[in-house]
Structures are given as C-alpha cells and as structure tokens.
A and B are shown apart, each in its own frame.
Chain A
Amino acid sequence: MLEIENLQLRLNGKSIIEDLSLHINEGEIHGILGENGTGKTTLAYLIMGVNNYQPSGGRVIFKGQDIADLSVSQRARKGMSLTWQEPARIEGLRVRDYLKLSGHNIGIEQVKRCLWMVGMEPERYLDRDVDSTLSGGERKRIELASVLAMQPKLAILDEPDSGIDIVSLPSILGSIVEMNKQGASVLLITHSEQTVEIAHRVSVLCAGKVLMTGAPEEMSLWFKNNCRTCPHINEPIYERIGEPADEGKKL
C-alpha cells in the first residue's frame, strides 16, 4: 500500500527526517509512536505533500506509484487523506457540507452515519459550522468523520487521540478500527501507548528515524521503558537502546 524508502527532509541545514523507511501493508493499522518533536507530524506532511514540504531525498510510493510530483488534491483523489493534529477552522462551512464534499456528495444518511461513528449526534452537529465555536475535541472528531466519509484507501491520522476526553476516546478508536474494517489502511500517529493497542504493527520514531518496528504490546513496552524515561529527546542513545534494525549509523 505505502512504501517509504530512505525518506529525508532537511530544513535550514537541520535533518528533520533521516533515511526513514517504512512499509504499510494493505489493510493494516500501522502505529507511529514517538515523543513530541520526533518528526511524526513532519512524516505525515511529507506523505500527504502538505505544508510545502518536499523530501530532500528518498521516495514515497503509494499503490506502486511514486507520488513525488502529485499535488495534495491528486494524492487525495488516489485515495489518501490526512487528519491534522490541530484541524483548521473554516467559518461558514457547515458540518453537513464539509462531510458531503469530503465524501464527494454522499447522501445525508451516510453523513449522519459518519458522525455517529465518531460519537457525535448528527442532530446536534449537522448545521454547526466547522469553526471556532467547536471545542478542540469536537473539531477533531469531525475531522475524523470527514475522513470516514471519504472512504480512503490510506488514512493518515495525526494524533487523533490528543485533546479527546477519556469518555470519547473509545468511540474514536472504535471508528478507526471500523474504518480499517471497511478497507482503509491507517497510519496512526500518536504518543500514546494506549492508542496503538488497536494497531497491527507499531514503529517507534525518534529524531526522524524509525528505531524499530514490531507488535504493539512489545513496542509500547519498549517505548515506555526507553523513550518515556529518556532525557535525550531526539538524541537516541544507541548504546542504551541498541542500533536500529535496518540502519547502522550512530548520531
């Protein structure tokens, strides 16, 4: 589904993403687990092609095609989408219209279904605007609902769990699982060990590199024991954690 090969991003002489390689299988929920500032969002932006980010090197291959030259719209039309960690507010755009345009003029019943899936009562939200009158958590749930409406082949979800209250979190995670069951592969970006429990595989990210990839329980435990307690954010101590499996270079 998605192949990332030796992806690099250098900004102002600083390496943000460094030789990052990642493989996401069709039908997989792939968790990206990392502390703040490790390059998770940058990775999402590079895959989706937003924020004017252009890789300094490497390739992103989606369904067999190098997508380097595709615009954000073209990537979306190929079946890829992104939810932002802090979604934009768009004054005057009603929730119903936002979801409809996301789903290319899907019917109202399907719009309602997407809202239900993220734990929102349609009657309360359909005619609200996707603007600053929504709380952060509401806006994020609507963002997720808009991706559900799109029925993407690959959903890149940048911290869909942050800012979500603990009561709503299960419905958010449930909707991601449901999205996956309906055929979407998911790149689930988070810094929560709990959230990646729904993933099939998890990669731990530090300093713009994938340190290791494995089963969720194993990676969560490793993340908790190493990254959570590590005072050297973005300066991995390879003597302590061991070399990345597919890389030999020390920082």
Chain B
Amino acid sequence: MTTYSVEKEYEAMVDAYGKAGGDRSALLNKDVAKLVVHENRVLSADGVPGVRLRYEPKENGIMAELLVEEGIKVKRPVHLCFGVLPEEGLQEIELQVEVGSGAEVGVIAHCIFPNAVHIIHKMDAVITIGDNASFNYGETHYHGDFGGIEVIPKAKITLGEKALYENTFSLVEGCVGKLDFDYEVFSGARSVAELIAKVYGKKDDIIKIAERVNLDADGARSLIKTRVVLTDRATAEVIGETYGNAPYARGHVDCIELVNGEEAVAKAIPIVSVTNEKAKVTHEAAIGSIDRRQIETLMARGLDENEAVDVIVRGILR
C-alpha cells in the first residue's frame, strides 16, 4: 500500500471532487481504495486487501493499474479521481484494469476540470474482466462553464465467461467542450455488457460517442443506452454498434437525443449486424425536440414551461 500526497493540491482536488458531487469522505478514508491524480502527479493512492493500485508518472499524465484479485468481493467502491485544476493543461491517463475471476468490484471515477480554458484529457483504458467476475464502472465528469476542454476517453474491454460489465459515463455538469468517446467491448460466453452514456451539450459543444459491442460468444448479451440533450449550438453524433456473431447472442442499442435549441444538431447512427442465425440484435433511436405532451403534462401540474423542460432534461440525464 502506497500513499503519496502533496497537501495543497490534494485539498484542492478533494474540494473540487466534493463540488462535483463526489463523496469527499471516501477520499479521506484509508479503508477505501483510491487513486487521486492531479495533472501527472499522484496525490493519493491507497489499496485495500485484494485490490492493488500501481502507478507510474509520465510526462503528461500517469500509467495506472488496478488489479482485483480472484474471488475478491470489494465492499466499498474504488474511487478514482483525475483532474486538472489550472486553466490549461494536458492529462493523459493510461489505465489498465484486471478483475480476477469471480471478483466483484465497483469503481467510481470523477474527472474534474472546473477551470478549464484549454485542457486536453485523454484516457486509454484496457479492461479485462475474468470469468464470473463483475465490474461496475461509473465515470462522472465535471467541467467548468467555459467549454475549453477536449475529452478523449478510449477503452477496450474484454469480458470472460459470465462476466458482468456495467459502465455509466456521465457528463452533464458544465460545458462538455469537445468529447470524443470511443469504447469497444469483446464479450465472452454468457457475459453481460451494459454501456450507458449521458451527456448534456451546451453552447458550442461537440460530442461524438462511439460504442461497439462484439457479441462473439454463445449467449452474450449487451445493451448500449445513450442519452444526449443538446441546447444552443451544440452538436452530437452517436454511433452505437452491436454485432451478434454467436448463437443466442442478444443485443440492443437504445439512443435518445433531445434537441432543445434552434441551432443544435443531433445525429444517431445505430449499426446492428448479425452473422449467426441464432443471434438477435435490435435498436431504437429517437431524435427530436422534447415531446410536447410531456411538457404539458408537467404544466398541467403547475410548472411553467421552462421548469417543465428542466424536469424532463434532468430526468433523461439522471
């Protein structure tokens, strides 16, 4: 177990983490596995029995490994906190996750850029989830209101037999800036993959979300669920791909994009492909303005139109 801390930066990161909705007490608790990184400096790194965190600073970021031993059920979620507090910077995270067979772990990741004017944040992750293992990864971003940030998360996820992978990516606070999200899953037999992305685009945000699931083994199942709300001049392109390549593979792609601004532009490209006669993949996509009936339903309860729209937007991004 290693602890490394730079007090002032750490306090500032914990503070920003709390403001971004994170659980500050978790970052201060030694019994919680955690990794806190500011720019390329690891401010705090704690493992717990069965969970090892290794890291190595790089010129513009870090290389980190999260290893969960076989059969370990991690009681409290592992906390990852990456951020850049100054207005400008580059942060590159190389993340390798290995969840041993039969292990169960949840990860709560916060990426914090509250003052971003010109920041690039890249993450390249390789995630391997063993047989019968469960990995729940929730990633929440908090950006400032300026929008001067480029976020480029890429991940390759390989699932063992009967593995469970749940991923929720949320970027609904502050301006997105530019997002280029690209995740790809390779499913094992009877594994389950669930990818959920929720993004709120404002001003001149440019959003690209690409998610691919390769259902290459018997009975593999997946869901790609994307929720995007756009206002002002924000644009979004959502590509959800699922390939049913094995018997009894089941996949579904579900995309909703709400456009709440005259200059906002939304595009959805669902790609579903089946190469095995016993596989089945479905998709649904809805793009457009907020349903008038929904707004009027809430107005008939006394909310004004703006309040009603706000409730609907918050709901879809919840």
Contact = CB atoms under 8 A, between A and B. Distances in A.
Contacts of A88: 291, 293-294, 296-297
A139 B292 CA distance: 18
B315 A73 contact: no
A106 to B, nearest CB: 12
Contacts of A92: 314-318
B296 A51 contact: yes
A71 B293 contact: no
Contacts of A221: none
Interface stretch (A76-84, A118-126, A231-239): A76-84
B282 to A, nearest CB: 15
B301 A146 contact: yes
Contact of A102 (B294, B296, B301): B301
B298 A101 contact: yes
A51 B295 CA distance: 10
Q: How would you classify the secondary structure of chain A's contact residues: helix, strand, loop or mixed?
A: mixed
A172 interface: no
Interface residues of A, number: 25
B315 A90 contact: yes
Contacts of A71: 299, 304-305
A72 interface: yes
B303 interface: yes
B293 A84 contact: yes
25 contacts: A50-B299, A50-B300, A51-B292, A71-B304, A72-B296, A72-B299, A72-B300, A73-B305, A76-B302, A81-B300, A81-B301, A87-B297, A88-B291, A88-B296, A88-B297, A90-B312, A91-B315, A92-B317, A93-B312, A101-B301, A101-B303, A102-B302, A104-B302, A146-B301, A150-B301
Given A72-B299, A72-B300, 9 more contacts: A50-B300, A72-B296, A73-B305, A81-B300, A84-B293, A88-B293, A90-B298, A146-B301, A150-B302
Interface of A: 48, 50-51, 71-73, 75-77, 81-82, 84, 87-93, 101-102, 104, 129, 146, 150
